[in-house]
Chains A and B, each alone.
Chain A
Amino acid sequence: MAKKANLPVGRRGFLKGAAAGAAVGVASTIVAPPAEAQQPTAPPRGAAPPSTAQIAAERDPAAVGVATAPGEKPGGDYMVDVMKSLGVEYFICNPGSSFRGIHESLVSYGGNQPEFITCTHEEIAAAMCNGYAKIEGKPAITAVHGTVGLQHAAMAIYNAYCDRAPMLILAGNMMDANERRGYVSWLHSVQDCAAMVRDYTKWDDNPGSLEAWGESIVRGYNLARTAPQMPVMIVCDEQLQENPVPAGFKGHIPRVGEQHAPAGDATAVRELARMLVNAENPVLVAGLSARTPHGIDLLVELAETLQCGVIDQKRRMNFPNRHPLNQTLRQRAAIGEADLVVALEAWDLFGVVNAIGGKERAQARSLLKPGAKLVSITATDLFFKSNYQNFFRATEADIAIPGDSEATLPLLIEAVQREVTEDKKRAYAARGAKLAVASKAALEQLRVQASYGWDARPISTARLSMELYNQIRGEDWSMVADGFFVSNWPQRLWDMKKHYHYVGGAGAEGMGYLAGASVGAALANKKYNRLTVSIQADGDLMYGPGALWTAAHHRIPMLIMMHNNRAYHQEIMGLQHMAGLHNRGFEECRIGTTLTDPNIDYAKMASSFGMESFGPVEDPAQLAPAIQRGIEVVKSGRPYLIDVVTQGR
């Protein structure tokens, strides 16, 4: 049985001592303090010098704990066993002393599986889990340190919550005040650890025993990946991690079974099928519809059966860009023509079916023609919380079907196919032909638009996007950045078909997402040998530049093209809007919104993190050779960054 050793030494201190030659297994041995602690400053005259134990305790308050006896295991070992049972690949963290027990068990006992991915900030780590989940379709684990680590991670967790991305968050905490290790331990401990993120996690628990911990992790893992997918947080008490497992503990690991998504009500689905079959001009709107790669196939099948238009809001890759039924480039016209709009996990459905003016936000104008019907299928109707307003404005749907749209589509397709007659098929074919003409014309118009400013300096965002696409289109590529900051050129002009061709952006539009999420997505792509590319906004990168170091350190191959417009560009436009309303000049709108004087040299920054790089590129003619060089490096298994000086949008 373990000895309670409230000595300034414990397992960790013991191991340090062991390295210096102390005998392993003698838990109560007081080890020599670290080298730096052996040179204390001179004590006050007349005072007794501190003992080595006192020095060790003051300088290394972590050196307290309970030692395991030979043959015993700490609770952290069991925790690692449970994590392995989930098949989780990565443990993506900034290290913290409140989960040092799990950390030590992971690397010493667990063979570093799941693999510890070292991050320089908890927000980067959580964002990496978000990006990873969108490619791989399952959670990674991030661990956070008590109060402060979770506070760092909070915004990225909110992004993932809004983005319907699953992740498992482990939070270290010392609940028993009597066991805390000095003042820092008090500052970093909390009564209700999950409270600060409870509004934007799906579930949390604070288990008080190892048995309960194992059950909570497996339950949390299942909840996180059940639609609507979201982050789940489990608190890990430090004593549970660090102390030896109690006598008689059997170490049962709960089984992870199959997990299915909830489909919509069958009666409502049949009614919707009849509406779709009989509609003159139905339109499908997909936001977060394709939860898995199969979701794209299902949407294609439904659209082709009906020969109806599809609008892909691109929160995920839902529908192939170049499919003739894709009407995304003429969204407003398509909505206006529709007599039936079917929303599939739509993103801000109110904003889809209404025109919302900049100055008249409260006076939205419906885009639906009179008599048009609106149907919504979404798992969000099964679960949302009150405080944070990510449920958007209420939409007056004629029929709301709570349920996961991807899980519902097979039922809907089957019901539609049963209703479709040969006469209907002929009418559908004519409808599909018209839609194909309309989408082709819209694409041509867009290409013309992209040609303006083609040779401009700073480089146009269209030129940047198409130079990159030209170099990767023959590869098995994956675009892991949101195109919003580059006028959505990639998701409008690139031939995107596969689920990893595009993964959407920050769920909560929280800045700092992309730096971490793109590296997380690249990490997921690594084992598939996909060519990961990103167009990284400069302002976003500066929230978490350490993500570059993580990519370099872990040899995560990806090509990062900097969209360096040297500004928080959205905010310039916002200030201009204010200045216009207030009838004032615009010259001052650069104050506080630009990233100049000095300009940031992103190539040098990447280089300092050990990442090969090139730039700044100001001449568009330099882009192609720079990208070719970058791809060579990425194919050799390393990340590469190209700094491109660009126009605002």
Chain B
Amino acid sequence: MNRLATWFVLPAVCAVLAQAQTAGNAENGKKAFERVICSSCHGHEGQGGAAPRIGVKPPALPAFIAYVRHPAGNMPAFAPNVLSDRELTDIHAYLASRPAPPPLKDIPLLNQ
């Protein structure tokens, strides 16, 4: 039974929890994203610029939150009093909602 719990039940619980966590509000996320000016480095679409791309396919939410709290390099740390986990979840949802770019073959300007 314990082994069953380990292999089947726990992952299911985690999946449910993860789903709940990622159920951020993209609209609120956009507001928070712009409020703390994430766009200055990552672009308004999270497409990257002075900092790497985070839009369309952001890192998994736990890793995303962990990194924002303790970033590497030049990125400033965002403490919970500045951006709550809830807001980060919303931002994550906003980033994930960004449309994927057209395939390269459909952008002639990038094929020259």
The yes or no verdict on A and B being binding partners is yes
Inter-chain contact B102/A451, CB cutoff 8 Å: yes
Inter-chain contact B104/A580, CB cutoff 8 Å: no
Per-position contact with B for A544-555: 1 when CB-CB < 8 Å, else 0?
000000000000
B25 to chain A, nearest CB (A): 20
Per-position contact with B for A574-603: 1 when CB-CB < 8 Å, else 0?
001111110111110110000000000000
**A452-B53 Cα distance, complex, nearest whole Å:** 8
Interface secondary structure of B, over-half rule: loop
Instruction: State which of B6-14, B38-46, B58-66 sits at the interface with chain A.
Output: B38-46
Residue A287 lies at the interface, judged by CB distance under 8 Å to chain B: no
Residue A608 lies at the interface, judged by CB distance under 8 Å to chain B: no
Inter-chain contact A586/B45, CB cutoff 8 Å: no
Given contacts A460-B47, A466-B109, A577-B74, contact A453 B101 (CB under 8 A): yes
B10 to chain A, nearest CB (A): 35
Residue A487 lies at the interface, judged by CB distance under 8 Å to chain B: yes
Residue A473 lies at the interface, judged by CB distance under 8 Å to chain B: yes
Residue A569 lies at the interface, judged by CB distance under 8 Å to chain B: yes
Residue B55 lies at the interface, judged by CB distance under 8 Å to chain A: yes
Tell me the count of chain A residues lying within 8 A, CB to CB, of chain B.
42
Chain A contacts with B in 349-394, Cβ cutoff 8 A: 357-358
Instruction: State which of A53-61, A442-450, A517-525 sits at the interface with chain B.
Output: A442-450
Residue A10 lies at the interface, judged by CB distance under 8 Å to chain B: no
Inter-chain contact B44/A587, CB cutoff 8 Å: no
**A453-B54 Cα distance, complex, nearest whole Å:** 11
- For A454, list chain B residues within 8 Å (CB): 101-102, 107
Residue B35 lies at the interface, judged by CB distance under 8 Å to chain A: yes
Which one of B53, B56, B76, B112 contacts A581 once the chains associate, using CB atoms below 8 Å?
B76
A217 to chain B, nearest CB (A): 45
| Centre residue among A466, A578, A586, A589 by max chain B CB count within 10 A | A586
Chain A contacts with B in 434-491, Cβ cutoff 8 A: 447-454, 456, 458, 460-461, 463, 466-467, 469-470, 473, 487
Inter-chain contact B53/A449, CB cutoff 8 Å: yes
**A472-B29 Cα distance, complex, nearest whole Å:** 39
B67 to chain A, nearest CB (A): 13
Inter-chain contact A583/B74, CB cutoff 8 Å: no
Residue B110 lies at the interface, judged by CB distance under 8 Å to chain A: yes
Residue of A with least CB distance to B72: A357
A468 to chain B, nearest CB (A): 10
- For B35, list chain A residues within 8 Å (CB): 586-587
Inter-chain contact A580/B49, CB cutoff 8 Å: no
Residue A573 lies at the interface, judged by CB distance under 8 Å to chain B: yes
Residue of A with least CB distance to B82: A585
**A581-B76 Cα distance, complex, nearest whole Å:** 7
Residue B79 lies at the interface, judged by CB distance under 8 Å to chain A: yes
Residue A649 lies at the interface, judged by CB distance under 8 Å to chain B: yes
Inter-chain contact A573/B41, CB cutoff 8 Å: yes
B35 to chain A, nearest CB (A): 6
- For B108, list chain A residues within 8 Å (CB): 470
**A358-B72 Cα distance, complex, nearest whole Å:** 8
- For A449, list chain B residues within 8 Å (CB): 48, 53
Residue of A with least CB distance to B39: A648
Residue B37 lies at the interface, judged by CB distance under 8 Å to chain A: yes
Which one of B41, B44, B77 contacts A453 once the chains associate, using CB atoms below 8 Å?
B44
- For A493, list chain B residues within 8 Å (CB): 110
Given contacts A452-B48, A452-B56, contact A584 B82 (CB under 8 A): yes
Given contacts A453-B55, A579-B76, contact A586 B50 (CB under 8 A): no
Which one of A358, A456, A469, A487 contacts B74 once the chains associate, using CB atoms below 8 Å?
A358
**A487-B36 Cα distance, complex, nearest whole Å:** 21
B97 to chain A, nearest CB (A): 14
Inter-chain contact A586/B112, CB cutoff 8 Å: no
Residue A79 lies at the interface, judged by CB distance under 8 Å to chain B: no
- For B82, list chain A residues within 8 Å (CB): 579, 583-586
B18 to chain A, nearest CB (A): 25
Residue A647 lies at the interface, judged by CB distance under 8 Å to chain B: yes
A566 to chain B, nearest CB (A): 12
Residue A572 lies at the interface, judged by CB distance under 8 Å to chain B: yes
Which one of A450, A469, A580 contacts B76 once the chains associate, using CB atoms below 8 Å?
A580
Per-position contact with A for B84-112: 1 when CB-CB < 8 Å, else 0?
00000000000000000110100111111
B82 to chain A, nearest CB (A): 5
Task: Using A460-B47, A576-B37 as known contacts, list a sample of 18 further A-B pairs with CB atoms less than 8 Å apart, ordered by residue number in A.
Answer: A448-B104, A449-B48, A453-B43, A454-B102, A456-B44, A456-B47, A461-B49, A470-B108, A580-B75, A580-B78, A583-B79, A585-B36, A586-B37, A586-B76, A587-B35, A589-B37, A647-B43, A648-B39
Binding site for A on B (CB under 8 A): 35-37, 39-41, 43-45, 47-50, 53, 55-56, 72-79, 81-82, 101-102, 104, 107-112
Binding site for B on A (CB under 8 A): 357-358, 447-454, 456, 458, 460-461, 463, 466-467, 469-470, 473, 487, 493, 495, 569, 572-573, 576-581, 583-587, 589-590, 647-649
5 of the cross-chain contacts (CB-CB < 8 Å) are A453-B44, A460-B43, A460-B45, A569-B40, A576-B37
